[in-house]
């Protein structure tokens, strides 16, 4: 038995590979602010890069790393590692409403089972660092 790949099969396979790659890529809202933000009420710095990765540091100590995606006004944070990371089943990802105005990032909980993350993020004035 022989298998023959037709031109249409190659196109379909290429389209499937492209769709799979795009599905794994972070979705970033064009107006979501990347960079570092310091909590005014806390010694915590949170940074977002343009590749969908975030980091949380207390002073020079890295506490949490993870991935994020932002679209419209919704931000999803998924912890991957670190001493403060929420890694138990059902707690890895939290969803927040975000607003960026005058150099300040504000987060409001939409859904998050990790209470430590909620308490660390909500109600804090996240001032963008230069």
User: At 64, which CATH number?
Assistant: 2.40.128
Residue 69 belongs to a domain:
yes
pTM beyond 0.75: the answer is yes
Q: Is 1 domain-assigned?
A: no
Q: Tens of pLDDT along 57-83? A: 999 999 999 999 999 999 999 999 999
- Asked, for residue 68, whether it belongs to a domain, the answer is yes
Query: Does a structural domain hold residue 73?
Result: yes
Distance CA 123, CA 106 (A): 8
> Is residue 5 in some structural domain?
no
For 80-130, the pLDDT digits (tens) are 999 999 999 999 999 999 999 999 999 999 999 999 999 999 999 999 997
Confidence of residue 41 (pLDDT cuts 50, 70, 90): confident
CA 109/CA 97 separation, integer angstroms: 6
Task: Kindly give the pairing relationship between strand 93-101 and strand 44-48.
Answer: unpaired
Residue ranges making up the domain that contains 105: 26-128
* In a domain? residue 7: no
How many domains in the chain? 1
**Residue 2: inside a domain, yes or no?**
no
- Asked if residue 23 has pLDDT above 50, the reply is no
């Amino acid at each position: 038995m022989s298998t023959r790949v037709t031109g249409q099969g190659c196109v379909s396979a290429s389209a499937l590979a492209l769709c799979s790659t795009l599905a794994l890529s972070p979705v970033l809202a064009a107006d979501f602010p990347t960079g570092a933000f310091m909590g005014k009420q806390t010694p915590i710095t949170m940074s977002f890069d343009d590749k969908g990765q975030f980091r949380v540091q207390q002073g020079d100590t890295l506490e949490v790393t993870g991935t994020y995606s932002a679209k419209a006004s919704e931000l999803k944070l998924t912890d991957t590692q670190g001493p403060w990371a929420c890694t138990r089943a059902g707690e890895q990802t939290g969803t927040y409403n975000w607003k960026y105005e005058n150099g300040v990032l504000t987060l409001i909980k939409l859904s998050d089972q990790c209470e430590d993350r909620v308490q660390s993020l909500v109600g804090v004035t996240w001032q963008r660092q230069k």
